[in-house]
Amino acid sequence: MSGLHPAKPFPEAARDKVNQPQLRANLRKVTHTIREKRLRAVGELPHWEELRVLGEATKDASLANLSDRLLQLEASVKARGGQVHWARDAAEAREIVVRIAQAHQVDELIKVKSITSDEIELNAALQERGIHAIETDLAELIVQLSHDTPSHILVPAIHRNRAEIQALFNRELPGEGSLSDSPAELAGAARRYLRHKFLTTKMAVSGVNFAVAETGTVCVVESEGNGRMCLTLPEVLVSIMGVEKVLEKWEDLAVFMELLPRSSTAERMNPYTSFWSGVTPGDGPQEFHLILLDNGRTEVLADATGRQTLRCIRCSACLNVCPVYERTGGHAYGSVYPGPIGAILTPQLLGMADKNANTLPGASSLCGACFDACPVRINIPQVLIYLRGEVTAEKGVTAEALAMKTVGYAMSSGWRFEGALKLARVGQGPLVKGGEITSLPGLLGGWTQSRDLKAVPPQSFREWWKEREQGSE
Amino acid sequence: MQIDLFITCINDAMFPRTGQATVRLLERLGQTVRFNANQTCCGQMHLNTGYRDDALKLIRKFVDDYRDSEVVVMPSGSCAAMVRELYPEAAKWGGDQDLLREVEELAPRVFELSEFLVNKLGIDDVGAYYPHRVTYHPTCHAMRVLRVGDAPLKLLRNVRGMTLLELEGSEECCGFGGTFSVKNPDVSAAMLADKTRHILDTGAEVCTAGDNSCLLHIGGGLHRLRSGAGTVHLAEILASTEGEVFA
């Protein structure tokens, strides 16, 4: 898996994952811990619901005038000595980064906040040109050293445990001798490795949490401080942002500084928040590039129901509360955007014709936990249902569509429904044993794989009611 | 009050006892119940599986069947949630402004059974007697879409003879999700496994809920495990008295 494109349909990818006991145990422990912490962090604010409404309104206002906001951002960044690039798609964005790296003749660069660069599959493109990208977020580094891919937006190595990391560091980090599985010792080894890179690497690539159109300020929110070093120590900084990350005013940041840390890490305030506006002589990178990435986003914006997806601030609260994510982990979604938000974002970015991505809107029981947790009130279940409609429209006539039509016909009047029930009672005959059906054919076989099905009883409610009306009860 | 009972297609076909219990309960509380025999299905399966046009036909049919109703009561959280929350969206997606107006006008008169009893009639003791150990699963759509809150629990706490046992992880989905259960059977089964484990851990004889679609799923899992525990719809517990046992 890399970038946005799932290699398998979700049900198939999920089957591989639900049967891995270590993965299930890790996911259960982490998601349940974060869930409880988030509820506590959110519960401290009596005006949390009002904050969510404000977050939603602030994002919507910016998205409603997105082209104006982006032009304003471009002008503000340029006025403060930064350079701005527009990328229609992943390939254009990759080329822009490669050109900048080549202009500075670097063969190594450091990275932080990498999800958007993972979306465009930047590392592989750089490697092809002989440029090695080093992830500096500790969990991203673990994922990179093990030639793996992230499985969570915020906790990319959620699927790894301590013993696995110990073995990995002993194998991959030079000059560390034999490390124990003590978290402090493992973190110390990563710290020594990364500090050396921060002090010797000339170029950095980052993602962006927010950008302010009015001031040209770019913002990165993080926990480790490795991001701060990435953003301040190199000579050249390239930041890649999806176009939906722009806000209008500096004051607009306030609500997100409340919503984001409490929703993602369940903290009142995150440890490191970096802001920079263009270039400051003698302080920090002396060359700053901002890449504005579309890659399907303006198509999403054009859709009245789907566009709320672009409010997402990548907090990952929806992943942590999702009962499906809890059982499969992020890799089953086959995209850098996993979980409920990925199930609506990935297919919209790729289009409904993508045979694997278009199974993602089905990857939900529509329980609604994600909508309740979302700090910007993206109604994920509603968008999932809407996208399922877009997928079936794209597929046209299928066996399932015909079955649905048939059921629809049977449901078109009370007497047709009554007739269909009579048929069902006859039809189920050979399948029923002791009042239960234990094996069903075809599409419905998924049900009896792990559950029995109660047989259709001899009298329906409507038949009982008719009898009662006729006074024979 | 003149109540139009929307029984829901699953109850009609698979759980007639739940319908009978709902009628008996409402009549015992002094209400008048009508059953429009032309009713069929709210269209939830069609809409949630992506068949918008087929769903819109059923939505228009529901509006035709209940346009003049004083209140429509249904013993199902997810069907009531479909009408209240998703009918307006479906009308918008179908570009049907007239339908949108009609469903918005009808939606406030549509209730799930427990919220109707507690919030609309103001009754939380229905005089039921049910001498069993019971645990309660709050279904997702009743809890997170309709926001019925603790209405079902208020009713259950007043049932005489019953021991109500707390269910761990009660707010987690059982994994049914309509066609999700057949399209993603592995994930659905993994969710169900945790739900049935928690139910069995309580030592309850039955798990109850306000929605038979969830109970069909949970009950199917409990039966496959030969666990001995079963499922009973909330209406059947509430309808049961010392003189008449419904479940």
Domain stop point among B90, B120, B150: B120
B247 within a domain of the structure (yes/no): no
Give the closest of A365, A417, A461 to B173, CB-based. A365
Query: Do both B116 and B138 map to the same domain?
Result: no
Kindly state whether residues B55 and B142 are assigned to the same domain.
no
pLDDT above 90 covers a percentage of chain A that reads 86
The domain total for chain B is 2
* Contact criterion met (CB below 8 Å) for B135 and B199: yes
Same domain, B174 and B144: yes
d(CA A440, CA A448): 6
Is the CB of residue A327 less than 8 Å from the CB of residue A24? Answer: yes
Q: Tell me if B221 and A401 make a contact (CB, 8 A cut-off).
A: no
Are residue B140 and residue B115 in the same domain, yes or no? Answer: no
Q: What is the mean pLDDT of residues A30-43?
A: 96
| Burial of residue A395 (number of CB atoms within 10 Å: 0-12, 13-18, 19+) | middle
- Asked if the structure places residue B246 within a domain, the reply is no
**pLDDT tens for each residue of B164-203:** 999 999 999 999 999 999 999 999 999 999 999 999 999 9
Residues spanned by the domain of B140: 133-239
Which residue of chain B is at minimal alpha-carbon distance from A395? B50
- Put simply, the answer to whether B191 touches A327 (Cβ < 8 Å) is yes
Q: Which candidate in B170, B176, B186, B212 is best for mutational testing of the A interface (most A CBs within 10 A)?
A: B186
Assigned domain for B88 exists: yes
The ipTM, to two decimals, is 0.97
Residue A1 has pLDDT above 50, yes or no: no
Stated pTM of the model: 0.96
| CATH architecture of the domain covering A10-298 | 3-Layer(aba) Sandwich (3.40)
Say which residues have a Cβ less than 8 Å from residue A252's Cβ, sequence separation at least 6: A58, A62, A212
Take residue A470 and report the two structure tokens written for it.
């006729």
Are the beta carbons of B145 and A368 closer than 8 angstroms? yes
Single residue among B53, B86, B120 that ends a domain in this structure? B120
CATH number, domain at B200? 3.40.50
Write out pLDDT tens, residues A176-223: 778 999 999 999 999 999 999 999 999 999 999 999 999 999 999 999
pLDDT at A472: 56
d(CA B93, CA B47): 11
**pLDDT of A360-398, one tens digit each?**
999 999 999 999 999 999 999 999 999 999 999 999 999
Beta strands at B230-233 and A246-247: parallel, antiparallel or unpaired: unpaired
Residues B100 and B9 in one domain: yes
Interface mutation vs chain A, best among B4, B12, B26, B137, most A CBs within 10 Å: B12
Looking up tokens 């249902």, which residue turns up? A385
Residue B170, in any domain of the structure: yes
Q: What is the mean pLDDT of residues A277-287?
A: 96
Instruction: Flag whether pLDDT at A88 surpasses 80.
Output: yes
Q: How confident is the model at residue B247, as a pLDDT?
A: 76
How sure is the predictor about A157, in pLDDT bands with cuts at 50, 70 and 90?
confident
Q: Does the pLDDT at position B105 exceed 60?
A: yes
CA-based max dimension of chain B: 53
Q: What is the rounded CA–CA span in Å between residue A51 and residue A37?
A: 19
Residue of B nearest to A16 (CA): B186
Sequence-separated contacts (24+) of B60-67 with Cβ below 8 Å: B60/B99, B61/A411, B61/A412, B62/B6, B62/B87, B63/B99, B63/B102, B63/B103, B63/B106, B65/B36, B65/B38, B65/B39, B66/B4, B66/B6, B66/B36, B66/B106, B66/B110, B67/B102, B67/B106
- Answer yes or no: do B50 and A328 touch at CB < 8 A: no
Mean pLDDT computed over every residue of chain A: 94
- CA nearest to A232, candidates A275, A291, A290: A275
Kindly state whether residues B166 and B110 are assigned to the same domain.
Answer: no
Q: Kindly indicate the confidence band of residue A444, based on its pLDDT and cuts at 50, 70 and 90.
A: confident
Q: Which of A382, A388, A453 sits opposite B50 (nearest CB)?
A: A388
Among the residue ranges A154-163, A284-293, B43-52, B105-114, the one predicted with the least confidence is A154-163
B178 is a domain residue: yes
Q: pLDDT grade, residue B245 (50/70/90)?
A: confident
**In-domain check, residue B145:** yes
Task: Return the higher-pLDDT residue of A26 and A103.
Answer: A103
Would you state the pLDDT for residue A251?
A: 97
pLDDT score of A464 more than 70: yes
User: Using the 8-state DSSP alphabet, how is residue B74 labeled?
Assistant: E
In tens, the pLDDT along A43-79 reads 999 999 999 999 999 999 999 999 999 999 999 999 9
Looking at the predicted structure, is the pLDDT value of residue A160 above 90? no
Residue ranges of chain A assigned to CATH 3.40.50.10420: 10-298
Q: Which of left, alpha, beta for A86 (phi over 0: left; psi -120 to 50: alpha)? A: beta
Confidence of residue A162 (pLDDT cuts 50, 70, 90): confident
Ranking A33-37, A155-159, B236-240 by mean pLDDT, the lowest is A155-159
Q: Which of A162-166, A249-253, A459-463 has the lowest mean pLDDT?
A: A162-166
Q: How far is A378 from chain B (nearest CA, A)?
A: 14
State whether B112 and B9 are in the same domain. Answer: yes
Q: Do A411 and B192 touch (CB under 8 A)?
A: no
Helix then strand then coil, % of chain A, to nearest 5: 55, 10, 35
Q: Which of B70, B91, B120 is a domain's end point?
A: B120
Q: Are strands A217-222 and A272-277 parallel, antiparallel or unpaired?
A: antiparallel
Q: Which residues of A touch B10 (CB under 8 A)?
A: none
Pairs of residues, one from chain A and one from chain B, whose beta carbons lie less than 8 Å apart: 205
Determine which of A175-184, A231-240, A260-269, B100-109 has the lowest per-residue pLDDT on average: A175-184
Give the model's pLDDT for residue A434.
Answer: 84
Q: Are residues B154 and B111 in the same domain?
A: no
Whether residue B74 sits in one domain with residue B25: yes
Residue A237: which of A198, A182, A264, A273 has the closest Cα?
Answer: A198
Helix/strand/coil percent split, chain B, to 5: 55, 15, 35
Residue B103 counted as domain residue:
yes
Mean pLDDT, all residues of chain B = 97
- DSSP strands (E only) in B35-166: 71-74, 110-112, 133-136, 163-165
Asked whether residue B212 is assigned to any structural domain, the reply reads: yes
pLDDT at A199: 94
Give the residues across from A454 on adjacent strands: A436
Task: State whether residue B21 sits within 8 Å of chain A by CB.
Answer: no
Residue A212 phi, psi (nearest 5): -105, 115
Nearest C-alpha in B relative to A321:
B172
Residues in A closer than 8 angstroms to B65, CB to CB, are none
Whether residue B191 and residue A324 make contact (CB cut-off 8 A), yes or no, is: yes
How far, in Å, CA of A380 to CA of B147, rounded? 17
Q: Identify which of B49, B140, B192 has the shortest CB distance to residue A450.
A: B192
Q: Do A465 and B47 touch (CB under 8 A)?
A: no
Count CA atoms within 13 Å of residue B2 on its CB side: 7
